[in-house]
Structure 1
Amino acid sequence: MTDHRRHHHDASLDRTMTDALAADGLEVRRVDDTARAETDPWLEAVARGFLDGERNDDQRQAFFDRTAYRRKLGVFDASAPQPEVPAATFASWATDLTLPGGMLPACAISSVTVAPTHRRRGILRRLMAGELRTALERGLPVAVLTVSESTIYGRFGFAPAAAAAQWKIDVRRAGWIGPDAPGRIDFVTREQGRGIAVELHERVRRDSPGEIEMPGGHWDRYFGTRPDAEKADQLRVVQYRTPAGGIDGVAVYRVTEDHADFTASVVDISLLVAATNEAYAGLWRFFLSLDLIGTINVSELSTAEPLWWMIADQRAATITVRDHQYVRILDVPATLAARRYDVADTLALEVADPLGIADGTFVLATDADGTATVDPVDDPPVGVPFVRLGVAELSAVLLGGVSPVTLARAGRIAADDPARVARLFAWPTAPRLSFWY
């Protein structure tokens, strides 16, 4: 772990959070990453919270071996029949979030559960507020998460900032009008593919607003290389190799045969990483040219995929868009100064925060070279365009995924000149996150 990762992982618990939960007869404590006697019950609580079955020993060991980087919290009820199983769980770790033109340390959040027996007691609010304060104190100016329930996190200041597209492609209709890639496609083993993907994802994510580092253990899950992997033998892996011999793309997929019509079999692509336009074209043409395939399914794509302009019949693709990467600004000056801008301008922002972490009035000034300064002020300067918004709305526009004009029309922000705000926060690349965590 780098310093900021360990700094966050080992941080003391927020006293306000622990005192509030103790007053309700509950104890919150960190789970010992070195003791399965603590991680196993914690994992069972997480599985229960996400409506999964009990974990077997292989699954518990695989989780234990791959998640020591996570800061795991449990809320324990000593009066429960199983006091060792937490009534609520929370995990986080320090990562890097790609912004438009920049990078920013971030607190990634996962495994957030509250048992049905302990709902409506304010447990989640206290956990979330306490851990967000801790993240800010440890130098992480923004928090991110992916969610199973989209209605929960807005009240904590999170907002969907990078949407994900799910594609279902009718291969017989699609056709190919994209370019001919000069390289070649080759099959590789799952282990080889895993090694390739790590380096490729690092290349790609640094230019993709909304992406974070792939969390520990995820690569083994994608490639079926962990000991508890199910149906790993059904996975196939291909790479794209340039004429010069470099590896610029990799993809993982599985085929489900249609025994009633073998020409209507289905391909599910679970991962496709392309570091160049040529690799992107080469991999997609490979999939659209497979024999006996009627349908291709793939998810967590960008809302602006080049593939849309590479198929002859765009109606061959059924595309569903949904919220995916949620963002929550904790430090307004640090976050806004970390990204780049295409317009030189000055705005005054009045930010409201339901948790009282990031509220205040700020002057955002950008230069012609794309850099910004952000200064807290008591009152906005006279003559500077004024924007009044919540921290959720500011988080939503951070990556350039939604226009402030849209939010103004929706009644979510108040601005003297919404179009001017939109020009400042616009970015040419649509934000995306290519996985769940």
Structure 2
Amino acid sequence: MAPLDAQTVPLDPGAGGVLAAAGLRYRTVDIATSDFVPFIKAANRGFLGEEPNDEQIEGSRERLAGRRLTGIFDATSAEPATPIATVDSWVTDLSLPGRRTIPMWAISGVTVSPTHRRKGVARAMLEGELRAAAGAGIALAGLTVTEATIYGRFGFAPAVSAADWVIDTRRARWVGPAAPGRVHAVDRERLRSELASVHDRARLARPGDVPGWTGLWRRIAGLAPGNDDRKVRGVIYVDESGATRGAMAYTIGEEPADFTRHDLAIAMLVTESEDAYRSLWRFALEHDLVSTVRAPLRSVDEPLRWMIEDQRAATVTVSDHGWLRILDVPAVLTARAYSAPLSLALGITDDLGFAHGVWHLDVDDDGHGTAEPIDAVPDLTMTVRELGSVLLGGVRPATLRAAGRMQGSADAVTALDRSFASVDTPYLSIWY
């Protein structure tokens, strides 16, 4: 079945009414018209970016193709054609435990002009996105955030963490196994193609990951219009059969005081085999004249830790990354696979009403779950945020209970822990 086109989903009339009462207009922006130019300038301004040039604007058209662009306009402002708030959204697959997927309403580019802060604009816009998604039959929404304190009030919660690595290569010393196959340097155009292909094949094994898009791969490979970065280098891993199983985009910067010491910054390293993973990491750590390797946005459970002699040579910083917001409890809980049988009544509180209720979750011996509303006293109670956090298996229910974020018996939490555990570590490899 073809994915839903978000551009066909109408704007939420409730949000439109709230904004109209404040003297603001709420409408979509056609990417193919001149309306797009003030839209992307407003979005860039919202993220403290520079004024885009014509080539960068065309690159943004490519990056945002297929998305629903929404702007909020103030006719009394000095620039009435420029939105005072922006958001873009689209429907994409989210990987789930059991190497399954579910359609997700992805939200990005959320900005509100400083001139219109604290006037309810963001609330109307984001609640409108959620109602539009739910009305279109999408069971959950997701986003990555620049400000982590904003989105909890709308029912979003961190479900996937990411780790930033900084490695002192002089201390790390590779002790992992050697791998067959070869590492080859490639030009940036082939790098773009290989990153996209390997990522698409590998993402099902990473709960929380989403597909990339043309503009993303062009940017990572240093080919984005208006942002051509000739410093980007690329290598691929080719196995013994000649198939590409991994790709890495990176740049190298020189230490001003010592030309023999360079930083190697990994923009993306994606693999679909253990051999590819080992070979590309070894290539980075043993690169000539490199003293530091920096790798942001990695999994919180990197095998690399066990492939270097001195684990203290790596400084690892973990932070929240992928946030989820459940809109349809039965659809979401039925979509994923489970690790152990389960029969529990879950009481979910949702201030916006989408997930509110008591839901009976039943998981059979094969890991297939069904969920339905039930009139009963729940075994466990939580808000929709906690349910979103534990959905992918990256956050343990027992941890949330210990933090006072989930209420119920120890036995019920232990049963939920066992069932929701994921064989594959949740990992979101990109920003969106």
Aligned counterpart in structure 1 of residue 288 of structure 2, from 286, 291, 310? 291
Quote how far apart the aligned CAs of 1:430 are.
1.9
Q: Deviations 1:219-272 (Å, cap 9, x if unpaired)?
A: 111011222124x11111001011111110110111111242222211000010
Aligned counterpart in structure 2 of residue 100 of structure 1, from 84, 97, 101? 97
Q: Are 1:352 and 2:345 counterparts? A: no
Q: Deviations 1:113-158 (Å, cap 9, x if unpaired)?
A: 1111111111111111111111112121111100000000001000
Partner of 1:426: 421
Partner of 1:366: 363
Q: Distance in 1 between matches of 2:227 and 2:52?
A: 13
Query: Secondary structure of 1:109's match?
Result: strand
1:164 and 1:324 in contact (8 A); partners too: yes
1:67 and 1:216 in contact (8 A); partners too: no
What is the correspondence of 1:306-345 to structure 2 with a 5 Å cutoff? 306-345=303-342
Aligned residue identity for 2:3: H
Aligned residue identity for 2:415: R
Aligned counterpart in structure 2 of residue 179 of structure 1, from 171, 177, 182? 177
Q: Distance in 1 between matches of 2:25 and 2:372?
A: 39
Partner of 2:118: 120
Q: Distance in 2 between matches of 1:364 and 1:121?
A: 40
Q: Distance in 1 between matches of 2:37 and 2:141?
A: 26
Q: Distance in 2 between matches of 1:131 and 1:318?
A: 38
Partner of 1:403: 396
Partner of 1:237: 234
Q: How large is the RMSD of aligned CA atoms in angstroms?
A: 1.2
Partner of 2:223: 225
Q: Distance in 2 between matches of 1:212 and 1:415?
A: 33
Identity level (%)? 46
Aligned counterpart in structure 2 of residue 416 of structure 1, from 409, 414, 430? 409
Q: Distance in 2 between matches of 1:19 and 1:398?
A: 34
What is the correspondence of 1:25-424 to structure 2 with a 5 Å cutoff? 25-35=23-33, 37-101=34-98, 102-230=100-228, 232-380=229-377, 386-417=379-410, 418-424=413-419
Quote how far apart the aligned CAs of 1:216 are.
4.0
Q: Distance in 1 between matches of 2:63 and 2:301?
A: 33
Quote how far apart the aligned CAs of 1:303 are.
0.3
2:62 and 2:214 in contact (8 A); partners too: no
Quote how far apart the aligned CAs of 1:32 are.
0.8
Quote how far apart the aligned CAs of 1:5 are.
3.0
Q: Distance in 1 between matches of 2:353 and 2:213?
A: 29
Q: Distance in 2 between matches of 1:125 and 1:353?
A: 16
Quote how far apart the aligned CAs of 1:66 are.
3.2
Query: Secondary structure of 2:166's match?
Result: strand
Quote how far apart the aligned CAs of 1:324 are.
0.3
Q: Distance in 2 between matches of 1:224 and 1:288?
A: 22
Query: Secondary structure of 1:80's match?
Result: coil
Q: Distance in 2 between matches of 1:207 and 1:73?
A: 33
Query: Secondary structure of 2:219's match?
Result: helix
Unaligned runs of 5+ in 2: none
Q: Are 1:5 and 2:4 counterparts? A: yes
Unaligned runs of 5+ in 1: none
Tell me the TM-score normalised to structure 2 length: 0.97
2:209 and 2:428 in contact (8 A); partners too: yes
Q: Distance in 2 between matches of 1:213 and 1:60?
A: 23
2:254 and 2:261 in contact (8 A); partners too: yes
1:241 and 1:248 in contact (8 A); partners too: yes
Q: Distance in 2 between matches of 1:4 and 1:242?
A: 33
1:4 and 1:138 in contact (8 A); partners too: no
Aligned residue identity for 1:183: G
Quote how far apart the aligned CAs of 1:364 are.
0.2
Q: Deviations 1:186-218 (Å, cap 9, x if unpaired)?
A: 100010111111111111101110100113410
- The number of residue pairs the alignment matches comes to 429
Query: Secondary structure of 2:257's match?
Result: coil
Q: Distance in 1 between matches of 2:223 and 2:44?
A: 21
Q: Distance in 2 between matches of 1:281 and 1:410?
A: 37
Tell me the TM-score normalised to structure 1 length: 0.96
Aligned residue identity for 2:302: E
